[in-house]
Amino acid sequence: MALCICITSFHSCYLCNAFFKGGITESKGNCVRKLNSSCQIPFHRVHLSLDFHQPRVRGHSPACQPSVGAPLAPRCKAARREPHVCALRGRAGLTPLPPRGRGPEPGWSRVHGVAFPAGAPTPTRAPPSARQVPSKCPPRPCRSVKMGESNEDIDQMFSHLLGEMDLLTKSLGVDTLPPPDPKPPRAEFNFSVGFKDLNESLNALEDQDLDALMADLVADISEAEQRTIQAQRESSQDQLHSASLEKSNFSGAASLGYGADMAVTSTSQYGDELPPPPADPMLDLPLPPPPPEPLSQEEQEAAAKADKIKLALEKLKEAKVKKLVVKVHMNDNSTKSLMVDERQLARDILDNLFEKTHCDCNIDWCLYEIYPELQIERFFEDHENVVEVLSDWTRDTENKVVFLEKEEKYAVFKNPQNFYLDNKGKKESKETNGKMNAKNKESLLEESFCGTSIIVPELEGALYLKEDGKKSWKKRYFLLRASGIYYVPKGKTKTSRDLACFIQFENVNIYYGTQCKMRYKAPTDYCFVLKHPQIQKESQYIKYLCCDDARTLNQWVTGIRIAKYGKTLYDNYQRAMARAGLASRWTNVGTGNAATPAPPSTGLKTGTAQANGQIPQAAHSVSTVLNEADRQVDTPKDKKPALSNHDPGTPRAQHLPKSSLPPPPPVRRSSDTGSSPVMPAKGAAGGLPPLLDDSLPPPPPPPPLEDDELPPPPPDFDEAPPDFVPPPPPWDAGASLPPPPPPPPALAPEATKPSPVVAKRPPVPPKRQENPAPASGGGGGEQDFMSDLMKALQKKRGNVA
């Protein structure tokens, strides 16, 4: 019996929406080209829109053929009964993981009751480059692979693949690559370079097939099971149906259950004996290609269909989380590439960058968006969704994202009086403004931002407006109101009733204009620009306004931001302050953390656990930690005002110099970061002791994100019982990895990563190797996804009905 695991990886660059649409019908060559072309985009944004890899088991040996009928059923059952044993063999050298605590989902528990994370080839010992090997060496015997935890596996594989891609793009033809497969018929399943074959198989598909799949997906559960059993005795075509049917039952973790079924069927069809456990992939790397075996029509159909189904699911999954690799320019002209997924906010990315850059984390750091073509720029507000903004950029854009300090970002909160009490530039007020004490500032802020409605600074004055599409600048008297910018029409007064609306803020962003004097003959260089975020080229719909001086400019820009974003801005500021406060605590922490061993539950799980590319939850969990810290910090403050100096989350503390009192150095627990990779982040966050209460042991600060790919808790984490966490595996407490110091330790591997095209983060091999349960907790995500799908289907059905 000869079986192979095929890893289909399917990448396209960020702008490949078109690719996906057309991709199905386009040639494989196109696909590859697009991938490569993404490297040439000046701003390296690659949309790894699809990174799917699923072990597929197919028979290739003619010897398998005769035994199709008889041994099928028992073998199937065997495969189901001991999925992890099978997987173990397939995985070569993995220890089976104890069953996960999560309750089996109704309807599929029989098959996937033991949700085994090893279905995907993630936890192999192979280094990234070698990991490709199985896919290139089809005849690897692997009897059955259960896709119990497909989601995190996918994610893990994704990151593997990213690493591989990295290597591949860098060094095609390096000797780790096996020679291209000489057998044309097998090319379809032999992904020597990865991407082409899937397309071919897809091309072979007809649209109706997928429709049929769709119908099957919504089929009834019991029927599905029945048919599954039947199907195993029938033709592969039918089996496919049943597989897909069954898949509909495997909500959650079983989204790739199809693959499992395929494995089962093909095994029983073609396998004569149980295959021996595969050798370590590392060792038998130069496997001989399997004997050429033209696939039967049926097989091809089945395979094509399988591919198509998988692809559909991939797409669904991929559609759910869009990821970009963003090259961020540092102020020292270096760049860092970050993996950003669509759920991440600017705040999360800043946090990532803080970890990477060892900067002081102060609140002035911001992501700064520069449009060289329009000569405009602005900072991202912390709550903005970065991917969303970047998606508006055109393909060949010169726009870039810079990580820098801008004191304008939160200037209004540092010195609110400059914005709220400025008496239209009168000298006297300017003098007094400087002296406002912290208490007054605080009350002013509270008054402006904490009431039932926020107060927009009263701003009015003459500005120059560049008329639509013209070159001239016209002076007009503008007023800022919460509802928009207004101007006084000719011959009218500035009472509300006479004002004419210039623009409302719903659909526009505010930018600073640079060098407008030169380019647009503006009266001064203090320009601000309002435009719809989607507009990328010069257009008459971009509004240019010009102020007399920098102070006015800042007042206007800030005022507009307050009017547009409202209290969110203040919340952002408070989070930034909390983050900055946390950071300053961290620096203290870094020195004295050798002491008290902590219960593993206090740590946030860190990058050791999984490198599956799902950053966002990780980032979110950080924010929950922050919030938590905030909240917990708030409470003691009420009772112990004396402590408020340490409190980053309270308004008072915001105005106090951070250094006035060094924060109590929390004792770092040595095992914090390294020891609890399987710890659900939520539990970790919840377990975080209040940061500032002296009576409590000094709080361990949330462990640093040593890596962007801090393992995410599953999206629907709440569903998982908090106590399902398996005991931390004994190996990880630092035997192989020293507990990472607070500043990100994972920087070194990243720094060496040259290719911006792919995620910089190839999983660190030793970690993975040691971690038999990298995927813990990840299944929920898949479940969530599948339940989403099911809901969608049900709804569709309802609509149709």
Partner 1 sequence: MAGMKTATGDYIDSSWELQVFVGEEEPQAQSVTLRVTGESHIGGVLLKIVEQINRKQDWSDYAIWWEQKKQWLLQTHWTLDKYGILADARLFFGPQHRPVVLRLPNRRALRLRASFSQPLFQAVAAICRLLSIRHPEELSLLRTLEKKEKKKKEKEPEEEVYDLTQVVLAGGVAPALFRGMPAHFSDSAQTEACYHMLSRPQPPPDPLLLQRLPRPSSLLDKTKLHSRWLDSSRCLMQQDVKAGDTLWLRFKYYSFFDLDPKADPVRLTQLYEQARWDLLLEEIDCTEEEMMVFAALQYHINKLSQSGEVGEPAGTDPGLDDLDAALNNLEVKLEGSAPTDMLDSLTTIPELKDNLRIFRPRKLTLKGYRQHWVVFKETTLSYYKSQEEAPGDPVQQLNLKGCEVVPDVNVSGQKFCIKLLVPSPEGMSEVYLRCQDEQQYARWMAGCRLASKGRTMADSSYASEVQAILAFLSLQRAGGGGAGNQPQGPDASAEGLNPYGLVSPRFQRKFKAKQLTPRILEAHQNVAQLSLSEAQLRFLQAWQSLPDFGISYFTVRFKGSKKDEILGIANNRLIRIDLAVGDVVKTWRFSNMRQWNVNWDIRQVAIEFDEHINVAFSCMSASCRIVHEYIGGYIFLSTRERARGEELDEDLFLQLTGGHEAF
Nearest distance from C-beta of residue 53 to partner 1, angstroms: 18
The residue within the footprint of partner 1, chosen from 108, 116, 486, 573 (CB under 8 A), is 486
Q: 3-state DSSP call for residue 78?
A: helix
CA–CA gap between residue 327 and residue 756 (Å, rounded): 7
Alpha carbon of residue 412 to chain centroid: 31
Which one, 11 or 91, has the nearer CB to partner 1?
A: 11
Q: Measured between alpha carbons, how far is 249 from 219 in angstroms, rounded to an integer? A: 9
Binders of partner 1 in range 777-796 (CB under 8 A): 787-789, 791-793, 795-796
**Distance (Å, rounded) from C-alpha 375 to C-alpha 361?**
28
**318 scored as a contact of partner 1 (CB under 8 A):** yes
- Determine how many CB atoms are found less than 10 A away from the CB of residue 714: 29
Q: Interface mask (CB under 8 A) for partner 1, residues 375-404, using x and -? A: ----------------xx-x----------
Which CB atom, from 116 or from 565, has the smaller least distance to partner 1? 565
Q: 25 or 334: whose CB is closer to partner 1?
A: 25
Q: Encoding tokens for residue 215? A: 């119908």
Stretch that binds partner 1, among 169-177, 481-489, 610-618, 652-660 (CB under 8 A): 481-489
- Residue 534, interface with partner 1 (CB under 8 A)? yes
Q: Least CB distance from residue 702 to partner 1, whole Å? A: 27
Q: Which two tokens stand for residue 537?
A: 């080229």
Count of other CB atoms within 10 angstroms of residue 402: 17
Q: How far is the C-alpha of 94 from the C-alpha of 224, rounded, in Å?
A: 32
Taking CB under 8 A as the rule, which mask of x and - marks residues 571-610 in contact with partner 1? ----------------------------------------
Smaller CB separation from partner 1, 472 or 483: 483
Q: Decide: residue 791, CB within 10 A, 0-12 exposed, 13-18 middle, 19+ buried.
A: exposed
* Residue 709, amino acid: E
Contact set for partner 1, span 406-435 (CB under 8 A): 421, 423, 432
Question: Among 85, 177, 187, 535, which residue sits at the site for partner 1 (rule: CB under 8 A)?
Answer: 535
3-class DSSP assignment, residue 463 = strand
Q: Closest CB to partner 1 among 179 and 435?
A: 435
What is the closest distance, in whole angstroms, from the C-beta atom of residue 525 to partner 1 in the complex?
A: 24
Minimum distance from residue 285 beta carbon to partner 1 (Å) = 35
* Cα–Cα distance measured from residue 121 to residue 783, given in angstroms and rounded to the nearest whole number: 20
- Rounded to 10 deg, the angle between the 150-170 and 28-40 helix axes is 70
State which of positions 322-351 bind partner 1 (CB under 8 A).
322
Beta strands 484-487; 376-379: pairing state: unpaired
Indicate whether 451 belongs to the interface with partner 1 (CB under 8 A): yes
| Rounded CA separation 87/145 (Å) | 5
Choice between 300 and 385, CB closer to partner 1? 385
| Of the candidate residues 81, 170, 537, 631, the single one contacting partner 1 (CB under 8 A) | 537
Count of C-beta atoms within a 10 Å radius of residue 796: 12
Euclidean distance between CA atoms 416 and 410, whole angstroms: 10
Query: Looking at beta carbons only, is 207 or 723 nearer to partner 1?
Result: 207
The one segment of 168-176, 284-292, 438-446, 652-660 that binds partner 1 by CB under 8 A: 438-446
* Stretch binding partner 1 (CB under 8 A), from 223-231, 311-319, 360-368, 377-385: 311-319
Q: Tally helices (H) and strands (E) across the chain.
A: 30, 14
Our finding on whether 504 is near partner 1 (CB under 8 A) is: yes
415 — phi, psi (to 5°)? -135, 70
* Residue 65 tokens, joined: 């053929």
- The contact pattern for partner 1, residues 9-38, with x = CB under 8 A and - = no contact, is --------x--xx-xx--------------
Task: Name which of 234 and 392 has its Cβ closer to partner 1.
Answer: 392
Q: What angle do CA 45, 49, 52 make, to 5 degrees?
A: 135
* Residues 137 and 285: beta-carbon distance below 8 Å: yes
**Gap between the Cα atoms of 367 and 403, Å rounded:** 5
Asked whether position 211 contacts partner 1 by CB under 8 A, the answer is yes
- Residues in region 41-100 near partner 1 by CB under 8 A: 47, 49
Among 65, 237, 443, 515, binds partner 1 (CB under 8 A): 443
Distance in Å, CB of 558 to partner 1, minimum: 16
Which residue number, 34 or 100, has a Cβ lying nearer to partner 1?
Answer: 34
CB of 657 to partner 1, least distance (A): 22
Position among 33, 183, 233, 315 found at the interface with partner 1 (CB under 8 A): 315
Q: 132, 282 in Cβ contact below 8 A? A: no
**Count of residues of this chain found to bind partner 1 when the rule CB under 8 A is applied:** 74
Report if residue 319 touches partner 1, rule: CB under 8 A.
Answer: yes
The answer to whether 499 contacts partner 1 (rule: CB under 8 A) is yes
User: What Rg value do the Cα atoms of the chain yield, rounded?
Assistant: 29
Alpha helix ranges (H) inside 426-566: 427-433, 438-449, 516-520, 550-565
Question: What angle is formed at CA 235 by the lines to CA 199 and CA 196, rounded to 5 degrees?
Answer: 10
> Using CB under 8 A, which residues numbered 214 to 233 contact partner 1?
214, 217
